[in-house]
Structure 1
Amino acid sequence: MAVLKSALILGASGLVGRQLLRELLLDDRYESVTCLVRRPLGQHLYHDPNNKLHPVVVDFDALDDYQGYFGVDHIYCCIGTTLKRAGSLKAFRKVDFEYVHVAAQLARAQRAGGFVWISSAGANAQSGNYYLKVKGELENAIMRMPQLPNAAAVRPGVLIGERPNDRRPREKAAALLLQWLRPLLIGRLKKYRAVHPYQVALEMIRHQEF
């Protein structure tokens, strides 16, 4: 008989995080799914027929205080924002680099079985684009971290979907354009295709070891 797994999601209320939560709650391989969130999860976001879900409201600025939750089989980090929403380069880096990096450190300290996070297509620490630069620096920092088994970054292109309380007209327009250009995005350009959140969620799950 297969051993059931425990999972932790950070950022379960986001576009990918919501889809990932739905997938894990219906995945027979998991017996428990803990979510660290800024505010209570709305019941409309999930269907939990087997009572697996354990939401915990936390302060991400004090993530070390919740390190006990990181001793699970699989950790999924869906934390992320945009430069516009963050309001400054410093605030953006705090969310997209510092929060995720601390989560990886806690995963290592608590000997989590696997750590998967969302990066971005084109992530490169040498990029002139600040967003892609930070994503690349984070990849380097986590992948060079010793004693963190099964760490993996998922690199989606522009996401297709409506974000609650977060209008992103430029991103939506880009997604529509990339969908139209999809037949032309082949070979090395394939990574820039617009993707659905459920595709990213399934890719994250695929990277975990069962």
Structure 2
Amino acid sequence: MNILIFGATGMVGQSVLRECLLDPQVNNVVSIGRSATHQTQSKFHEHVLKDITDLSPLTDELSSIDACFFCLGVSSVGMSEEKYHAITYDLTMNIANTLVKIQPKMTFVYVTGASTDSTEQGSSMWARVKGKTENALLKLPFKSAFMFRPGAILPKNGVKSKTKLYQTFIVILRPIFPLLQKWFPNAVIDSEQIGRAMIAVARDGYPKAILESTDIREASGK
């Protein structure tokens, strides 16, 4: 498979990139983002762009992509709905609409979050916007599309969060990671599982378009 990743420097993106580079069934990995990952493997091709919505120079390269793992995202804390909508919905749909024109046969995997609101009518601003984004993506004529709704993600293998507060909690809680996964099996997954699950659904599909933490764990095979 040829994989495209958006947001490879974030915690989820780092996890997905690592698993793609390790997987022998992934032939090529293309990363598009605003900052570099500094990976140097031969099957890895990175594009650092000021405007990540302008994909016109990469049309030929993207026409051979089998799956896009869209891992871009921001916290809604302290953000107005207008700004959060622009980053979460407008940016995502701009890119997705471009990709589906370039390669409609690809699988599109989008990372949202637990409690995303598919009705788009709830009281939680971020959940409404995420739900709107999910609904719009599922209507696009990709070969298939999957929405990943992880709860808590425990980073493994050196993966770190770019959010300082979250990374601080990770460092404090790391000694009890195994217990958290045991106590909250329906809400807690690790970074390796989410990476393996994305590769699996891109390769084999999945019975559901929206995957919660239990589905992600099942799809990962771990």
Q: CA deviation at 1:88?
A: 3.3
Given that residues 111 and 149 in structure 2 are in contact (C-alpha distance below 8 angstroms), is that contact kept between their aligned partners in structure 1? Answer: yes
Does the 8 A contact of 2:151 with 2:188 survive in 1?
yes
2:44 corresponds in structure 1 to 53
Q: What is the one-letter code of the residue matched to 2:110?
A: W
Structure 1 alignment gaps of length 5 or more: none
Aligned positions of 1:21-170 closer than 5 A? 21-43=17-39, 48=41, 51-60=42-51, 62-66=53-57, 68=59, 69-71=61-63, 72-84=65-77, 87-111=79-103, 112-124=105-117, 125-145=120-140, 147-161=141-155, 163-169=160-166
| Dislocated runs of 4+, deviation >6 Å | 177-181
Residue number among 191, 197, 220 corresponding to 1:203 in the alignment: 197
The Cα of 1:138 is off from its aligned counterpart by 0.7
User: What is the Cα deviation at residue 101 of structure 1?
Assistant: 1.6
Give the SS at the match of 2:203: coil
> For residue 102 of structure 1, what is the amino acid of its counterpart?
N
- Larger mean Cα displacement after TM superposition, 163-172 or 20-29: 163-172
Letter in 2 for 1:136: G
Percent identical pairs in the alignment equals 22
In the superposition, the TM-score normalised over structure 1's length comes to: 0.78
Q: What do the CA deviations read for 1:104-129 (whole angstroms, capped 9, x no partner)?
A: 21221012421111011111122211
171 and 109 in structure 1: CA distance in 2 versus 1, 3 angstrom threshold = farther
The answer as to whether partners of 1:36 and 1:58 remain within 8 angstroms in 2 is: yes
Q: Aligned equivalents of 1:117 and 1:171: distance in 2?
A: 26
Q: Shift of the alpha carbon at 1:82? A: 0.3
TM-score computed with the length of structure 2 as normaliser: 0.74
Aligned length: 193
* Contact preservation (8 Å) 1:67, 1:106: no
Give per-residue Cα distances to partners, 1:56-103, cap 9 Å, x unaligned. Answer: 011346435456153211111101010237x43333222222222222
Contact 1:20 1:202 in 2 (8 A): yes
1:7 equivalent in alignment to 2:6? no
CA RMSD of aligned residues (A): 2.9
